[in-house]
Chains A and B, each alone.
Chain A
Amino acid sequence: MTKNMEEAEQLKKIKAGDVRTASRLIRNIEDELPEARTALKRIFLDTGRAHVIGITGSPGAGKSTLVDAMITSFRKMGKTVGVLAVDPTSPFTGGAILGDRIRMQRHAEDPGVFVRSLATRGALGGLSKAVGDAVHVLDVMGKDLILIETVGTGQQEVEIINHSHTVIVVLVPGMGDEIQAIKAGIMEIADIFVINKADRDGANQLANELGSMLNMAPAFPGGWRPPVVKIGSCFEPQSFTPSIEELTGAIADHYRRLEETGLLGDRMKRKAMVEIGEALRDAILTPILRELTKSGEMDLIVERLLKRESDPYTIAEEAARRYLK
């Protein structure tokens, strides 16, 4: 088989929902193999169908359990679901424990659900570098909804807005004082707030704080005021199920609002700009770094910096001038 035919075959298999081919492509994307980029070039043209939902919040807020419940709810509606769950990579060993699947294992055998764990591999902002491209793969697989569960690092974890149509911020009672609610960062990016473990003390207080924070907001784009959904203990099914439906209903409402007001187009534009920025950085920076490392010049540069014979800015400008001709 020629390479071209192989690639066409690969795309066909992914479109038909072949798990092995799709998961291998995601692996190649993560490992940054050149053939992954070739595949992505083909795939991209068929993407843009799925509703992408980001789920963020502090570690231990119950994001995975919530995702599990959302999968169940979406499946009941007959929708197919893809999940990307991100966990942290050790800065020391490069190893990682990816444990978010544990809460989603009851869907392991459902062909309408694809769950994939990703390690951050040094990326900041709560996602892995491969997330954007992995979303494309799940999209082409035909998943109606794609849930991205971020790593859960906290206040600065806002990169998720560049990848999703709807952002859910998960909070739990008793995790902070009133000042948290007015800080910049994660609290600003929510399209929907979830107060998880709402059977605990302080849930109402947290809901009130969120309410007053929202009351102070200067404007809601598209008139969408982020709803606050309280979800009780997942160990009490009665208190869990109705509120999950409230949440999935809010997600659908939000998407409809995005479509009606044209905000969806704006979000897609932002996403496209981020994607092109990343691709440019990759196209320009990666070859230069590779060249500098391969030629041994990198060692000399580092040496010069350490001896204070030059500075990083001059060196970067010189290298850029040389390579960008």
Chain B
Amino acid sequence: MAERRIRIMVAKPGLDGHDRGARILARAFRDAGYEVIYTGCHQTPEQIAAAAVQEDVDLVGLSCLSGAHGYLFPRVVELLKEKGAEDITVIGGGIIPDQDFQKLYDAGIKAIFTPGATLDSILDWIKNNLKPRE
């Protein structure tokens, strides 16, 4: 009865409109039993952070193929912190060069998945690392 359901937001910050991967992930999360809030393409970090707080999600998954991840991903983390929502986990994926990983981790991105990452590896990461918040 009293049972936490995990809520995940899938969002695409920035200018690229290629959301096939994001939609596949959303579907995979749904099939894994999560409630997925999908906000679509062309989102500003401000929109994403505001929506994440309104929806009270546990996890925000960002997808970016445009090369702007270095700005966009940390900005989302920053804005969540400003809203007192630093307990929301942020992970990222997309076209992200290896040399950028550490910077993103340092900025508070908890995991990064690049092309070739299997759906199972992403789902496993969530299962092992995400607990619904109190």
- Chain A residues within CB distance 8 Å of chain B: 19-20, 23-24, 26-27, 30-34, 89-90, 93-99, 101-102, 105, 108-109, 114-117, 119, 121, 286, 290
Contacts and interface: CB of A to CB of B under 8 A. Distances in A.
B40 A98 contact: no
A30 B2 CA distance: 9
B36 A97 contact: yes
A286 B1 contact: yes
Nearest to B34: A95
A23 B47 contact: no
25 contacts: A20-B53, A20-B85, A23-B54, A23-B55, A27-B56, A31-B2, A32-B2, A94-B5, A95-B29, A95-B30, A96-B36, A97-B30, A98-B36, A99-B40, A101-B38, A101-B39, A101-B51, A101-B55, A102-B40, A108-B50, A109-B44, A109-B47, A117-B37, A119-B5, A286-B1
A90 B56 CA distance: 20
Q: Nearest 4 CB-CB pairs, A to B?
A: A95-B30, A102-B40, A108-B47, A23-B56
Nearest to A286: B1
Contacts of A102: 38-40
A263 B36 CA distance: 39
B35 interface: yes
Chain A at the B interface: SS class: mixed
Contacts of B51: 101, 105, 108, 115
A108 B1 CA distance: 32
Contact of A109 (B7, B32, B50): B50
B56 A26 contact: yes
B56 A93 contact: no
B106 interface: no
Contacts of B1: 32, 286, 290
A156 to B, nearest CB: 24
Contacts of A95: 29-36
Contacts of A26: 56
B27 A19 contact: no
Nearest to A101: B39
Nearest to A116: B54
B26 A97 contact: yes
Of A32, A33, A97, chain B has the most CB atoms within 10 Å of the CB of A97
Nearest to B51: A108
B4 interface: yes
Of B7, B27, B44, chain A has the most CB atoms within 10 Å of the CB of B7
B11 to A, nearest CB: 10
A80 B32 CA distance: 36
A34 B2 CA distance: 8
Given A20-B53, A109-B46, A93 B40 contact: no
Given A93-B30, A93-B32, A31 B3 contact: yes
B83 A20 contact: yes
Given A102-B40, A108-B51, A119-B35, A33 B2 contact: yes
B6 to A, nearest CB: 10
A19 B50 CA distance: 9
A26 B1 CA distance: 16
Interface string B75-111: 0000000011100000000000000000000000000
Nearest to B6: A95
A116 B30 CA distance: 18
